[in-house]
């Protein structure tokens, strides 16, 4: 089965799946009637469903993953509520001495533009110091944890000193529609690096598992572009050869529009 | 695969499953640690999980059903929200001329005790008349439907005259925990007969699919008995050999308690 | 409180609300920190949240509606699972003699392009005949229903002959994020007319209740335009003054793109 | 509005509510018809709904809380999926220097019977040492966190060294049915002390907010007793004056039954 190492101690492992591209088609045909059933039509049907936000047929596929991940990643992940989870319990069991320590290129300085993210990697000297602080803090906490356990303190209490970069693991089961939603949010450049790499590993599997649905997801979601009502007006102006007036748009929205225009090859207007 | 005929034109057909008893155990062991793994322990673990309402491991099993059912049954069924559904669309497709007509023994008189249910079967003559009315109403409606379609009226409009005993069909996918909840409510004697027979057919499959979980479900849910705080007091009094005082209990609650006592073999107190 | 008559016997009535625009801002500020709190910022913050799909603050508003609606509309509506519902029970209570009969302009011929919809209104003579058939079928069914009740047949059985244009009613409670999703799907031109008018009535209320969130919803969802990866390429070509190559696009997709271009004022290319 | 201090730095604060006991009754009456409406009937109706697991009317009440809580409590809490949440973001904002340190009486030794819990409080000397370790680990981690922030490291990275006893906060919105489910699981003696105190604070509010629903919840859920099929057989035997045979019951189940019998005042059988 599909397995990928993620981060320093983590992994994503596929435990089981239900359905594939043909299950999507099968479910859709219950709703939309029979019609022609040539293989070429399956592809078109899947693309039509994705394009028109007919999400229920995608819910007919299900995947169960075994994931090992740092606690702070688990905290972001669990916000996706429409899924089933069984997590390792630090009340029942002893946590392993495994902590996530970021690689130097993933230790970034605080972005001043994007309040929630990092900018460029910090200087090597600082990166080195940060890794040292991670190791010190983690080892120090684990030592306290271990001593408390040794002294007979309840596991549910002792574990409270462990840091959020400690690894946990869980079984996570989700349908394909909700998995696509997860992937859209978590493979986005605004998502934190440490969850993005899990999303990327899962995406790699999804591309093998349901290739037609995955291709449609890329074309109509991941690589699609959404234009606001105001941006539609701007585009209209641009298509007439004039410069957009940016009515009712904030400075931030204007620069978001300019980003989109870069992708359209329009860079020299203004 | 498992298929059962239900009612006159309906059926339940298992399309796919994910997991079985061992998947429940596997997921639980992620949370609760390893311990002994002898086959006998699997059974105990499943029973422990069920008894203590640890529901997440049961969510690790999933089943997909293809069901054909009258619209009024579908309306009750769909109230179970934690499931995935793809239903036949009467906007896209033409509805078949298939209507549920109850058998004489299932045509009951209105209960005067239970406002939502039926009492005993009606007299044969009336049952016969009722079947006639069902057939007349259904055929009459379908004739209007058919004529409208012939005249070119949109399917989405024409279908509005069809009665709720017309058959529809859907794919329904649900996890085992939520399926147990469905079975508990819908195989209950208070559930309407016409949905209960679907619950019974599904229960027959579940017993084959996850025999240990099914046995635990029977022992700790279906055949369990819940005693209210007041009923616990009554039992206490009975166990001391005295008659219960029925404090803070309505007449209705008292007769519900007497029902429970009948099952306990206590019938002569009063 | 807000009430709107919908269709012939239906209505939407607001029973209660929790929160408003300021509750969205309040919740967002828990996540994103304080910063300036001038009224002008509230508006920007709401627009930012909508634009970037930060949906959880919108979940902090809740509305409870009392709705009277035909059963076939209720069947479409209930597919929105993240909501709370209490519906009138035809097992407990007797259904009123109230049936939806479409106005002539809403009796359309079957569309040949859009399999799930209607095209233009049918000829007045046919519309008249259809209304007659609706009334006949509804009255005929109700007569059977009434006779069965008179004869003492259980309500849960007798009601099975009623058609899906009979009116039911329910309390429906939903958060604003999920309500927006409902409105997006059900106020869409592809939605059936009879549910669209309910969506329109609710939209009218939402515009009063949370004016900033509503404005943002219009600008970034309802009146936004989504371009697929292929359509982005087409736009790029158009912006360079050339004709799009339509690579990897089906005939249907090409005409969907042409529709979008019409809105952009581009009609003469090709 | 209702506010309670919980643990050393935490709190529960009620932000808003929708509905109360009368909203439950109002919703139920949509389903079950009108009938008499004397105040005494409202109470009976609420008790009937609770007793017979008619949960949807309870979903018509909603409450929004502002809660400050340690991360490890938040992790247990968030497993209740049917709720809305906006949490403080350690990617956007700097975490406060506030850590949970348990009081001596809540530092227990590991239970040997209950793998997931604690037994009696540890010796004062050890409790003192544990508190010291908590403070050292927390202060040490926060110092590393603070230094990284000073050095310009991104907040999303620096916060990874913080321990799970650090305080976070969120808005949490939930309907009454799901809140009851939360309270049942989290005010249970098997729940960890640190989440139980939050459940207790919320319960105190619920008792004021919906007194009739709360009373019913206590009588039919919290203080109810569930007997398995096997336990029903044991009770039957006891009521006949004989000793139970404990057929098909594990050692663990037998002691669970004996616990229940203690509550029934039966202690001397065997």
| pLDDT (tens place) for every residue of chain C, 270 residues total | 899 999 999 999 999 999 999 999 999 998 876 544 555 689 999 999 999 999 999 999 999 999 999 999 999 999 999 999 999 999 999 999 999 999 999 999 998 877 777 789 999 999 999 999 999 999 999 999 999 999 999 999 999 999 999 999 999 999 999 999 999 999 999 999 999 999 999 999 999 999 999 999 999 999 999 999 999 999 999 998 899 999 899 999 999 999 999 999 887 655
D158 and D251 within one domain: no
Determine the residue of chain B that is closest to A171 in CA distance. Answer: B27
Taking CB atoms and an 8 Å limit, are D154 and A75 in contact across chains? no
Instruction: Measure Cα distances from C18 to B265, C21, C59, D16 in Å.
Output: 51, 11, 10, 7
pLDDT, residue C126, reads 96
Check: CB of residue A235 under 8 Å from CB of residue C264. yes
Q: Is residue B147 domain-shared with residue B214, that is, in the same domain?
A: no
User: What tokens were used for D59?
Assistant: 């979903």
Is A232 within 8 Å of chain C by CB? yes
> Are A48 and C220 inside 8 Å of each other by CB?
no
Nearest CA in chain C to A33: C115
For chain A, how long is the longest CA-to-CA vector? 77
> Tens of pLDDT along D163-173?
999 999 999 99
pLDDT at B36: 45
Q: How far is C170 from chain D (nearest CA, A)?
A: 7
Residue A233 lies in a domain: yes
Report the alpha-carbon distance of residue B21 to residue B57 in Å, rounded: 10
Number of domains chain D contains: 3
pLDDT, residue A99, reads 98
B220·D227 Cβ contact <8 A: no
pLDDT in tens, D204-225: 999 999 999 999 999 999 999 9
Task: State mean pLDDT over A185-189.
Answer: 94
Tokens representing residue B116 in the block: 């939502």
The closest of D75, B27, B220 to A84, measured between CA atoms, is B27
Q: What is the chain A residue with the closest CA to C265? A: A236
Considering the domain architecture, whether residues D64 and D141 belong to the same structural domain is answered as no
Instruction: Name which of A194, A210, A208 is nearest A68 in CA terms.
Output: A194
Q: Is the pLDDT of residue D266 over 90?
A: no
If contacts are CB pairs under 8 Å, which of residues 58-97 in chain D contact chain C? Answer: 59-60, 62, 64, 66, 84-89, 92-93
Name the active-site residue from B186, B196, B221, B263. B186
Token representation of residue D258: 């004996």
How far is it between the farthest Cα atoms of chain D? Answer: 77
pLDDT for position D41: 87
Q: Is the same domain home to B175 and B82? A: yes
Check CB contact under 8 Å for C71 and B164: yes
Neighbours, chain C (3 or more CB pairs < 8 A): A, B, D
Q: Given D225, D238, D252, which is nearest B239 (Cβ)?
A: D238
Q: Do B265 and D185 touch (CB under 8 A)?
A: no
Number of helices and strands in chain C (H, E): 10, 8
Is the pLDDT at A197 greater than 70? The verdict is yes
Would you say the ipTM is above 0.90?
yes
Are D30 and C92 an interchain contact pair (Cβ–Cβ within 8 Å)? no
How far apart are alpha carbons C221 and C214 in whole angstroms?
Answer: 10
Average pLDDT over residues D113-124: 84
With residue C66 as reference, give the H or E element that holds it.
strand C62-70
**pLDDT > 80? residue D34:** no
Domain end point (choices D148, D163, D178): D163
Do D151 and D176 have their domain in common?
Answer: no
Cβ <8 Å between C159 and B72 = yes
**Each residue of B175-215: pLDDT tens digit?**
999 999 999 999 999 999 999 999 999 999 999 999 999 99
Q: Are B50 and A79 in contact (CB under 8 A)?
A: no
Number of CB pairs, chain C paired with chain D, less than 8 A apart: 90
Query: Cβ contacts (< 8 Å) between C88 and chain D: which residues?
Result: 30-31
Phi first, then psi: give them for residue D141, nearest 5 degrees. Answer: -65, -40
Which pLDDT band holds residue B33 (cuts at 50, 70, 90)?
Answer: low
Considering only alpha carbons, which residue of chain D is nearest residue B56?
Answer: D79
Residues 105-144 of B with CB under 8 A from D: 115
CA–CA dist A180, A183 (Å, integer): 5
Does residue B71 belong to any structural domain of this protein? yes
**Residues near A141 by Cβ (< 8 Å), separated by ≥ 6?**
A161, A162, A163, D137, D140, D141, D163
Q: Could you say which of A16, A33, A170 has the minimum Cβ distance to residue B92? A: A33
Are residues B250 and B125 located together in one domain of the fold?
no
Q: Which pLDDT tens digit goes with each residue over B113-125?
A: 777 777 899 999 9
pLDDT of residue D12: 98
pLDDT in tens, B44-68: 999 999 999 999 999 999 999 999 9
Q: What is the pLDDT of residue A119?
A: 83
Give the nearest partner residue to B265 out of D33, D228, D239, using CB atoms: D239
Chain B residue with CA closest to A67: the answer is: B30
pLDDT of A138 above 70: yes
Domain match, C11 and C70 both: yes
Which chain D residues touch B228 with a CB distance below 8 Å? 51, 219-220, 223-224
Q: Determine the pLDDT at residue B257.
A: 95
Q: Find which of B67, B83, B86 to mutate to test the A interface (most A CBs within 10 Å of its CB).
A: B86
Q: In terms of residue numbers, what domain contains A194? A: 3-100+165-222
- What Å distances lie between residue D141 and A144, B27, D56, D94, CA to CA? 12, 33, 46, 14
C-alpha D217/C-alpha D181 separation (Å) is 10
| Structure tokens, A170 | 């869980």
Angle between helices C39-51 and A251-263 (to 10 degrees): 20
CA proximity to B202, closest of B53, B104, B69: B69
For D12, the token pair is 């529960």
Q: Is C55 within a domain?
A: yes
Q: Cβ A236–C264 below 8 Å, yes or no?
A: yes
Q: Hey, are the CB atoms on A122 and D78 less than 8 Å from each other? A: no
Q: A27-36, A254-263, B147-156, D122-131: which has the minimum mean pLDDT?
A: A27-36
Q: How many CA atoms lie within 13 A of A19 on its CB side?
A: 27
Helices within B97-250 (DSSP H only): 124-150, 155-158, 176-186, 193-209, 211-217, 229-239
Q: How many residues does chain D have?
A: 270
Contacts of D92 in chain C (CB under 8 A): 31-33
Indicate if B181 and B88 belong to the same structural domain: yes
- Give the pLDDT of residue B174: 98
What does pLDDT average to over chain D? 93
Whether residue A144 lies inside any domain: the answer is no
Residue D185 has pLDDT above 50, yes or no: yes
**How close is the nearest chain C Cα to the Cα of D131, in Å?**
30
In terms of domains, do B194 and B62 share one?
yes
Examine the fold and report which residue of B163, B178, B211 is the final residue of a domain before the chain moves on: B163
pLDDT of D38 strictly over 90: no
Question: Could you tell me if D72 and D179 lie in one domain?
Answer: yes
Q: Do C145 and B141 meet the contact criterion of CB atoms below 8 Å apart? A: no
Structure tokens of D192?
């960890």
* Residues of chain C positioned with their CB less than 8 A from the CB of B147: 133
Nearest-by-Cβ selection for A154 from D108, D155, D157: D108
Q: For residue C228, which residues of chain A lie inside 8 Å, CB to CB?
A: 51, 219-220, 223-224
* Residue A268 structure tokens: 């020299």
Which residue in B has a C-alpha nearest to residue A28's C-alpha? Answer: B86
Question: Average pLDDT, stretch D142-154?
Answer: 96
| Whole-number Å distance between alpha carbons of D29 and A92 | 46
Q: How many CA atoms lie within 13 A of B119 on its CB side?
A: 11
- CA torsion A135-A136-A137-A140 (nearest 10°) is 120
Q: How many CA atoms lie within 13 A of C161 on its CB side?
A: 33
Closest residue by Cα to residue B201 from B67, B20, B64, B80 = B67
Positive or negative: CA dihedral D77, D78, D80, D86:
positive
Q: Please provide the DSSP assignment of C98-141 as one string.
A: -B----GGG-EEEPSSSTTSEEEEPPHHHHHHHHHHHHHHHHHH
Is pLDDT of A93 > 60?
yes
Domain-embedded: residue C176: yes
A120, A122, A128, A134: CA torsion to nearest 10: -70
* Residue B127 to residue C154: CA distance in whole angstroms: 12
Q: Which of B31, B56, B86 sits opposite A30 (nearest CB)?
A: B86
Q: Predicted confidence band at A117 (pLDDT cuts at 50, 70, 90)?
A: confident
Across residues B22-51, what is the average pLDDT?
A: 82
Token digits of residue C137: 């079928």
Cβ pair A62, B62 in contact under 8 A: yes
Q: Between chain B and chain D, how many beta carbons pairs sit less than 8 Å apart?
A: 87
Q: Name the residue facing A88 among B30, B88, B92 (closest C-beta).
A: B30
- D239 closest CB neighbour out of B224, B253, B264: B264
pLDDT in tens, A19-73: 999 999 999 998 876 544 555 589 999 999 999 999 999 999 999 999 999 999 9
Which has more confidence, A113 or C20? C20
Q: Are A196 and A186 in contact (CB under 8 A)?
A: yes
Inter-chain CB proximity D192 and A147 less than 8 Å? no
Q: Which two tokens stand for residue B202?
A: 């599904």
Same domain? For B32 and B72 the reply is: yes
Check D151 against A110: CB less than 8 A apart: no
> Inter-chain contact D265–B223, Cβ cutoff 8 Å?
no
CATH number at B191 reads: 3.30.1360.170
Q: Is residue B26 part of a domain?
A: yes
Confidence band of A79 (pLDDT split at 50, 70, 90): very high
Q: Is the pLDDT of residue A164 over 60?
A: yes
What does the pLDDT read at residue C36? 45
Please tell me the distance from the alpha carbon of residue B243 to that of residue B248, in angstroms, as a whole number. Answer: 15
Domain assignment present for residue D268? The answer is no
Q: What angle do CA A137, D164, D69 make, to 5 degrees?
A: 145
Q: How far apart are CA A116 and CA B206, in angstroms?
A: 48
State the pLDDT at residue C268.
67
> HEC profile for C147-211?
HHHHCCECHHHHHHHCECCEEEEEEEEEEHHHHHHHHHHHCCCCCCHHHHHHHHHHHHHHHHHCH
- Please state the length of chain A: 270
Q: Is the pLDDT of residue A212 over 60?
A: yes
- A203 lies in a domain? yes
Q: Mean pLDDT over residues D47-62, rounded?
A: 96
- Report yes or no: A202 and A65 within 8 Å, Cβ to Cβ: yes
Query: Same domain for B92 and B22?
Result: yes
The predicted structure's pLDDT at residue C269: 56
- In chain B, the largest separation of any two C-alpha atoms, in whole Å, equals 77
Q: Determine contact, residues C219/C211, Cβ cutoff 8 Å.
A: no
Burial of B38 (0-12, 13-18, 19+ CB in 10 A): exposed
Residues C179/C202, Cβ–Cβ less than 8 Å:
yes
Q: pLDDT over 70 for what percent of chain B?
A: 96
Residue D88 has pLDDT above 80, yes or no: yes
Average pLDDT, chain A: 93
CB A68 within 8 A of CB A165: no
């Amino acid at each position: 089965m599909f397995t990928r190492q993620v981060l320093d101690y983590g992994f994503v492992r596929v435990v089981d799946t239900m359905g594939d591209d043909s299950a999507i088609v099968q479910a859709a045909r219950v709703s939309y009637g029979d019609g022609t059933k040539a293989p070429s039509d399956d592809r078109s049907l899947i693309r039509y469903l994705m394009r028109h936000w007919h999400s229920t047929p995608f819910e007919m596929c299900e995947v169960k993953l075994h994931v090992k991940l740092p606690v702070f990643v688990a905290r972001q992940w669990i916000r996706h509520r429409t899924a089933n989870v069984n997590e390792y319990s630090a009340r029942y069991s002893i946590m392993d001495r495994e902590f996530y320590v970021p690689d130097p290129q993933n230790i970034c300085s605080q972005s001043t533009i994007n309040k929630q993210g990092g900018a460029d990697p910090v200087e090597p000297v600082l990166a080195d110091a940060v890794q040292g602080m991670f190791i010190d803090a983690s080892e120090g906490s684990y030592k306290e944890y271990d001593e408390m356990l040794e002294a007979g303190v309840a596991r549910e209490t002792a574990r409270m000193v462990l840091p959020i970069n400690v690894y946990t693991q869980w079984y996570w089961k989700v349908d394909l529609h909700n998995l696509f939603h997860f992937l859209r949010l978590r493979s986005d450049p605004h998502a934190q690096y440490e969850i993005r790499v899990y999303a990327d590993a899962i995406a790699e599997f999804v591309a093998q598992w349901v290739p037609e649905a995955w291709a449609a997801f890329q074309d109509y979601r991941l690589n699609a572009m959404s234009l606001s009502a105001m941006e539609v007006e701007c585009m209209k102006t641009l298509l007439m050869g004039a410069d957009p007036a940016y009515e009712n748009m904030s400075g931030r929205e204007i620069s978001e529009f300019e980003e989109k225009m870069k992708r359209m090859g329009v860079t020299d207007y203004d």
